Structure 1
């Protein structure tokens, strides 16, 4: 819509309504934007992006970001609302699976080979590689860096007292002429610790609680840059019935204990790294943004594109992501395990753990080679941070504007007190004093809802569709003695045929994109009308294109390309 009027002075807002005529049926209209061309030659943009119905009056504020003194004047009794795009339901085609007689089957697989030969209805190059190499220790270690869950591994500067790995146990798997203590001092030992799973209530299936181990897995980085597991303990308390397994143990023992570690890893991945730390965090940010900022506020306009699906998708996400993990039962108390796990992790969540550069440093992963999640993620963090600096610099030229913005202060206080329960140990800011503080926090919000979600979501079909690689459920208790595991034991421990089909269908759903997806750096709703803001967005898009080119060039040299943080593959907001 383009409108031309006589001089009206400085336009702050316009009202929009539909007039109903007796000879026309009642209808709805979708308004994208209003552009008022003034006699002074200025084109004033009023974003709308909403449906209008008869009898409704919309107040639209101009796209130009206003200072806090203006925004306080512009508050109206209509409140703030956002018309979210309806979420279209995805469905994985189970028709072919039903024809094969797999869906709903409670039988165990006859063999791993029969599983591989049967589940050929859909694949990807990476999924094929996973199915071929999932047993290899080198590829097993690689996945903690570049698989679907790169968020738990950390450097091990000191062996935990409850994980009594000795020199004799692991010497055969270290480089010649070195020792365990020397390798620890060099920074070549890494640990995955699943302590938070200890004692959780799990799903009861066929009268038995599903096993879930609070495992410890020690990995070693050799001189070739290869990361391999060298010791696994399937519990937090060592004992005769909770021994430490090593690669020289019987082959099937080692394979099964590695599967139990990946089962623990899958639970933490889905409930914490995926659901809580992207979906639910995005919900916290979205609600606070709509609660405290009018739509003329620059942060409202900057952030809302990153919450596009957040509120609708999270209800579905809770069901889709929690159901298969083994922590949710059908009883009224069925969420106890899940809720307790999230309580434990929320109490330990820190602001620095959500900021990628700080997170990488805290985990001691600055120098480990072949860590593509880190490399690509840091490039994206830097690009987003530069973009946010430039954009907010238009509206907060000095620190005084930050401290004087009451809406901004209420926003961060709400996030801190309600989203993080006022936990001061988390380091979550309760107020902002400087522009730099705001820029870092907003960078974290955008990175979390776009790049971080892509990193822990987009690879799920690739790494989870071969069920033994990342089993979301296991049926039998972990081994307590060595030399007792047979292939029959492994097949009886893996999910049955019907559950395997469910997990594959789930991974197929979760890796899909919406047909109307918006990639990172795209702002099609034109909420910013200033030429300077538009140029900053364009510069951001150019930087993302440059990052994409470097990732493509790097991936051309890899056996397993890491594509999950390619800007063209990252959605602007959390999605399924």
Structure 2
């Protein structure tokens, strides 16, 4: 009966529509039909008929408004549950009656009269003469009662500002104006507003005086990129510090379109809980039994990855977790500890060869193919100013070459964590940490493997003077000297781990990208072709950065607890930002600066590697070239002359705002965008940073850092000196001394849990060469662009083939190394990887999304 009644109602509605068309709308009306796709969200009702839409003409102007003529309202009707690319959706029908002069729609406005927001994926229209018009929306539409405004979306046709149809010009300006903040007021969840602020939200002085932190940005002393503004009120104790958000549900403001999807947020929380359970729960009894809190053997560390013990959280561990985990998650963790199996995959560094991490060759290989392959450089001058390393330390370790010949052939390399770190060491070592500044010299063998030559470890003078104390360590194969050498390598890697997380990963990808996103939203209309090009490379970045400021890089957060740099961590990143230059971030320029490549005009990238077997460099240049070609082809579709670039008012305002506001503290290293080459390079550099560079320093963290002896992040002991009690302790059991030098058990397992979370791909990830969740074929209506984009996809497939061929080539020793870890961090993975997610170790997401 119910089905029959619905059928009768539907038939009546159809008859009503026909009558309106024949009478009320007249014979001179046309019907534009459409489908609206909304993502179904757990716990949030679908909009139903409470939502409505109107169309703006892009060809017919309303003389009263100066904008395109506006259609009558059409309500969302006949919602049906659907699915698009594994995404649960609801598809509604809309029907617009327009007069014959209306022409083609160019924009749509949506009004939400429901109590709940909904996520609008796309709109597809079909005109009376069968022309298709698509809108890629991918945006939250909040209730009108909260926003007091409609949401405006433009079709997938791109226009430079001066080419905008007259009917759309005013809408274009109004939409941009609505997105710009004025620097006042506290942002609410539904505010679709972009504005800048300093990093003034890292400290928490109201919780404890010890948690006060320096404001970063806006000064010569502490320069920094800008972040998205939230407008939260200042703390009472320190008016320069913004108060903390309510992290009960990780609810920190970012503009709605920058937030994780509900699926990803739930996944992120679930993965975090699972990681904590996997790594912490199996250690409860052991921690109770051992007051020292240290691992006593390498076998105990390995048990973290194989234990299936079933035990609930002990009360004392709950208290420990409360310092790091939002309170409401404690119950979830307790529940998970009883339900989730604790067996966890081995990190790749020990999965094939448990001792490979101790090998000198693997130590050097990870500087070329590990998770921080962006620091090593060819040594330019020897001796090194201020260094204790002498030619005698290198000795006869250069095959048949003398030192001068090796230098001339660029065969001596340095991993340098010395001068920048030295001024911070006294502050760092006050808090139970034993850190050195380090220099490591290596020799490039004929087979392209790196042979460590010497390590220099330095402590600063007692009063910050020039009376630094340096010790030099040489490789050894056995005995006491070999054990000391292993300790020295651990201190070097601890330095490298800190640099990796703070500079290579956080500063050089996460932090520097955010101002580009804000400036694009504020200055480039959604119908601007450059906005459309860049948009996939924004996904989730502002949200993950906001979460990082809340729980990871904040005072007392996870990085301060797991890195040797502790409380001065963010001060170090500010010191590095003083020398950050945008014109050095392009991969070819970075390689040239580090003397890892030479100029080569025959290559599309403009450079050739110093040696072929540099996995990061070789794969990276292939990816860079593919992006460069795609961006250049794309720009040429829309810009036919240099003048068209110079006269693009939105583009020039965008570039000016990035340089003078978003990155206003970094005054050097910018260039004008006034022709195709300069525009292409700037856009390629940004896309490279957001996609491939981030992937290369992020998604291998668990593979290498998941086993702490391979990449310790803190050292708790200095290397002992002869005649001391510590030296006697070391001689008695070198392995035990090594283990006690590492982080304590709780901090170590917390650090492993963190890198496991950060190494995971989300199930809704979008990868390089992919566009859109639903209408992936309709993100633009420009056929030439679609053609060029398909070529980009084909180019990426060719890169995949090259990478796999390199990994199979036995002559390229650094592709696998003693640990037998194939280098896939730059593997695009153009297969349907987005439906897999998880700890894959490959795939280049479009954006800094985790």
Q: Do they fold alike, i.e. is TM over 0.5?
A: yes
Pairing partner for 1:244 from 472, 491, 494: 472
Q: Within 1, Cα distance between the matches of 2:531 and 2:739?
A: 52
Q: Describe the superposition over 1:357-414 as per-residue Cα deviations: whole angstroms up to 9, x where unpaired.
A: 1111211112134211111111111111111111121221211111111211121122
The structure-2 alpha-carbon separation of the partners of 1:299 and 1:131, relative to structure 1 and needing over 3 Å to count, comes to: farther
Q: Distance in 1 between matches of 2:395 and 2:367?
A: 23
Local SS of the residue matching 1:258: helix
Structure 1 counterpart of 2:547, from 316, 323, 338: 316
Q: Where does residue 165 of structure 1 map in the other structure?
A: 389
The Cα offsets for residues 41-96 of structure 1, whole Å up to 9 and x where unpaired, read as 53222222223344351222121111212555421167234523435123133335
Distance 1:58 1:421, change over 3 A: closer
Q: Which moved more, 1:92-101 or 1:309-318?
A: 92-101
Go from structure 1 to structure 2 and tell me whether the alpha carbon gap of 1:209 and 1:107 turns closer, same or farther (over 3 Å shift): closer
Maintained 8 Å contact 1:156/1:184: yes
CA displacement, residues 451-478 of structure 1 (integer Å, 9 cap, x when unaligned): 1010000100010011011111111234
Contact 2:158 2:527 in 1 (8 A): yes
Q: Give, in angstroms, the shift of residue 565 of structure 1.
A: 0.7
Structure-2 separation of matches of 1:191 and 1:491: 27
Partner of 1:370: 613
- Measure how far apart 1:552 and its partner are: 2.1
Match of 2:805 in 1: 553
Q: Which moved more, 1:273-282 or 1:229-238?
A: 229-238
Aligned to 1:295: 526
Aligned-residue offset at 1:350: 2.1
Larger displacement relative to structure 2 (125-134 or 250-259) = 125-134
Structure 2 counterpart of 1:466? 707
Q: Residue in 1 aligned with 2:10?
A: none
Task: Give the structure 1 partner of residue 69 of structure 2.
Answer: none
1:509 is matched with: 757
The answer to whether residue 273 in structure 2 is matched with residue 99 in structure 1 is: no
Structure 1 residue aligned with 2:679: 438
Task: Find the counterpart in structure 1 of residue 174 from structure 2.
Answer: 76
What SS does structure 2 have at the residue aligned with 1:512?
coil
Structure 2 residue aligned with 1:214: 437
Could you tell which deviates more after superposition, 222-231 or 412-421? Answer: 412-421
Secondary structure at the aligned position of 1:59 is classed as strand
Match of 1:522 among 746, 770, 773: 770
Between the two structures, name the one with larger relative contact order (CA 8 Å, sep ≥ 6).
1
Equivalent of residue 669 in structure 2, options 408, 427, 438: 427
Give yes or no for contact 1:325–1:473 (8 Å, CA) kept in 2: no
Aligned to 1:31: 120
Kindly provide the CA deviation profile for residues 422-480 of structure 1, in whole angstroms up to 9, marking residues without a partner as x.
544x3222x31112111111101111111101000010001001101111111123445
Any conservation in 1 of the 2:349–2:356 contact (CA below 8 Å)? Answer: no
1:346 aligns with 2:569: no
For residues 302-345 of structure 1, the C-alpha deviation after alignment (integer angstroms, 9 at most, x for no partner) is 1121111011101223443674555899xxxx986123212221
Q: Counterparts of 1:126-525 in structure 2 under 5 Å?
A: 126-129=349-352, 131-159=354-382, 160-175=384-399, 177-194=400-417, 195-200=419-424, 208-235=431-458, 241-248=469-476, 250-318=481-549, 319-320=551-552, 323-326=557-560, 337-365=568-596, 366-421=609-664, 423-424=666-667, 426-429=668-671, 431-479=672-720, 484=727, 485-486=730-731, 487=734, 488-524=736-772
2-side partners of 1:563 and 1:436: how far apart?
Answer: 30
Pick aligned residue for 1:65 from 158, 163, 170: 158
CA distance in 2, matches of 1:492, 1:52: 54
Distance 1:529 1:455 in 2: 33
Preserved contact between residue 443 and residue 453 of structure 2 (Cα < 8 Å): yes
| Separation in structure 1 between the aligned mates of residue 441 and residue 558 of structure 2, nearest angstrom | 27
Cα distance in 1 for partners of 2:459, 2:682 equals 35
Q: Distance in 2 between matches of 1:499 and 1:202?
A: 22
Deviations 1:142-196 (A, max 9, x none): 0000000001100002121222433322224221x32222211111000111122
Cα pair 2:388 2:470 within 8 Å, conserved = no
Distance 1:482 1:320, change over 3 A: farther
Partner of 2:106: 12
Q: State the alpha-carbon separation in 2 of the partners of residues 260 and 125 from structure 1.
A: 22
Tell me what 2:326 maps to.
Answer: none
Q: Is the 8 A contact 1:202 1:211 kept in 2?
A: no
Conserved in 1, the CA contact under 8 Å of 2:368 and 2:614? yes
- Unaligned stretches of 5+ in structure 2? 1-33, 36-94, 180-191, 193-255, 307-343, 461-465, 597-608, 810-815, 830-842
Q: Secondary structure at the match of 1:232?
A: strand
How far apart are the structure 1 equivalents of 2:411 and 2:693? 26
Question: Do structure 1's residue 538 and structure 2's residue 790 form an aligned pair?
Answer: yes
Does the 8 Å CA contact 1:257/1:478 hold for their aligned counterparts? yes
State the Cα RMSD in Å: 2.8
Alignment size in residue pairs: 563
Distance 1:108 1:358, change over 3 A: same
TM-score normalised by structure 1 residue count: 0.90
Shift of 1:40: 5.3
CA–CA separation in structure 1 for the residues paired with 2:798 and 2:547: 35
Q: Is the 8 A contact 2:523 2:650 kept in 1?
A: yes
Match of 1:75, SS state, is helix
CA distance in 2, matches of 1:236, 1:369: 37
Q: 1:127 & 1:307 partners in 2: Cα distance?
A: 35
Between Structure 1 and Structure 2, the one with more strand by share is: 2
